[in-house]
Chains A and B, each alone.
Chain A
């Protein structure tokens, strides 16, 4: 009668209640922190190195504390589980570049056949990736790029600038190059945000000149509650908004709430980015949430496949070349009500 998430809550409350009743010493707190830590830690790879056909793929990514990053880790695990010949080694992610460097070093010590890294930040992880390459471990760089091309065998990622371009193309067409646009950005000061902003600004200007004005531009840190607050104020300031370009589907949900709370959902359309399932469901319904642009976490599943092929020394069957390409850029496909059914299974 209870679903899995509810069972966790019930179990937890029971444990805490018992703990508090049993001891007044009050170190329940630290107990609990370690409880949740160990429970959420994924099962680690066996550790015993088998000889023969098994391909050992190691994986390192930032902490899975956001819908998109959670999906990245999950997709990689699921993909690896589907290959009988793959042994997958994963360490719990961290949002600290220095910690991720030591993590990668630890993974290298296990002598994997391929190493997949989604760096928290590209620059600080580049030296350790170079080292791995020098040791003969092929590195597959996912999403955020290393600062040296020698640091990876293959890079696979989405197109942040392309998200801006796709959004600009879509909105220019929807608005006939006329109107006021609000841009809700991601986290200020990182390349993802800058590229999504630049792609949009460049393309809008090229297509529409002065026809479309970006009347407000504020970061909301990829967080729904920040998106809500920022948008509430912008709604006060702007009497006429024709479209809202947001950098992220999760964050966009807060922006959508603000617009609906103000009763102005018929005045404008909104676009997201990423390709979450919630966003695609809203797009299916039609109305305010008009489109999203893919930056799909399925890229980590692709990375596992690529890593396997590289370890086997094979290439893609569909390509004439016997080797995996060194760069794979996934398109920022535009998902609208018309084609959402083709993409919704990719939603995270």
Chain B
């Protein structure tokens, strides 16, 4: 990569692509081509079904805002899944982070933001240490955190929400706008961009993929496994902390019951995006589209006042279809 001729974007990360890696990358490209089709289909269906409200910039920005919480969490989840891990604790950690933020910063925004993000990272680190150094499988370690963090959130808050109506900056992050674009949507796009750069343009990103792809080979190549594995859970905790700030800002309060089932939405978005649950391949663009797909679906069925059972059913069908697509390509 010492030439000054800029390579095509999709080849940039390929310094020493081996054959299987190239194949994996092609597979991701197929996936990335398939999901935009789904998004376009949803947009077309939505426009036909509800000509007046669906395809307005206002409504599309609402979709982006609504997707922001799940979206930011899904970005962290992509790194975890890229290493072949899983983080089941994100919903509970989100609630605990929001409550922790509320306790240190009931009156001021900055302590709230630092408190929420810091606590998210702390709980993420605990997950990471338990998995990387304690050799507990990710499913179990984060399942323990799933239960533990929810308990913490309820206990720390005395089971009552903490009102954040006086926190102007936090409120503004959640519901304010810059030039007509909701701040939450801007944060989501920024986090997505940051995650893309981190995964595709840094050595760290390549190491994450390498650890997920072939752990033995990665070790031989001199990659220190434990710090990498610990770090992806801390990164997930960081994203959850940011999401906790966004959600609390939109709600005007920190709720100990927030984030229920968030882990399922985040994992589903990552997986339909094309990131392999087995690890070793990951796509940020895919995760972004996965989040948007569910966001559009929720928005559309809700606009049409469809019963929720139909929403859940369609979600199931989409997950299954995406998984099937993944198999055929592979």
A residues less than 8 Å from B157 (CB atoms): 5
- A26-B136, A232-B62, A233-B62 in contact; A225/B154 too (CB < 8 A)? no
Q: Per-residue CB proximity of A129-173 to B under 8 Å, as 1/0?
A: 000000000000000000000000000000000000000000000
User: Number of contacting residues on A, CB 8 A?
Assistant: 53
**Cross-chain pair count, CB within 8 angstroms:** 152
- A20-B126, A28-B126 in contact; A223/B159 too (CB < 8 A)? no
Alpha-carbon gap, A65 to B129, bound state (A): 29
Beta-carbon contact of B251 and A237 below 8 Å:
no
A48 interface residue (CB < 8 Å to B): no
Alpha-carbon gap, A251 to B65, bound state (A): 20
Beta-carbon contact of A261 and B156 below 8 Å:
no
Task: Name B308's contact: one of A4, A219, A237 (CB within 8 Å).
Answer: A219
A113 interface residue (CB < 8 Å to B): no
Beta-carbon contact of B147 and A223 below 8 Å:
no
B43 interface residue (CB < 8 Å to A): no
A257 interface residue (CB < 8 Å to B): yes
- A12-B156, A70-B159, A233-B66 in contact; A223/B129 too (CB < 8 A)? no
A254 interface residue (CB < 8 Å to B): yes
Alpha-carbon gap, A16 to B119, bound state (A): 11
User: Number of contacting residues on B, CB 8 A?
Assistant: 61
A225 CB to nearest B CB, Å: 5
Select the stretch in A31-39, A200-208, A310-318, A336-344 that faces chain B: A31-39
B166 interface residue (CB < 8 Å to A): no
Residues in A242-261 with C-beta less than 8 Å from chain B: 250, 253-254, 257, 260-261
Alpha-carbon gap, A13 to B118, bound state (A): 11
Beta-carbon contact of B104 and A6 below 8 Å:
yes
Beta-carbon contact of B160 and A232 below 8 Å:
no
A218 CB to nearest B CB, Å: 6
B256 and chain A: residue at smallest CB distance: A65
B302 interface residue (CB < 8 Å to A): yes
Select the stretch in B30-38, B194-202, B257-265, B317-325 that faces chain A: B257-265
8 contacts between A and B (CB under 8 A): A20-B125, A20-B129, A26-B130, A26-B133, A64-B159, A67-B160, A229-B66, A257-B253
Name 5 extra pairs, CB < 8 A, besides A8-B155, A12-B156, A29-B145: A26-B130, A27-B136, A29-B144, A70-B160, A223-B258
B-binding residues in A (CB < 8 A): 4-6, 8-9, 12-13, 16, 20, 24-30, 32-33, 36-37, 39-40, 64-67, 70, 188, 215-219, 221, 223-226, 228-230, 232-234, 236-237, 250, 253-254, 257, 260-261, 278
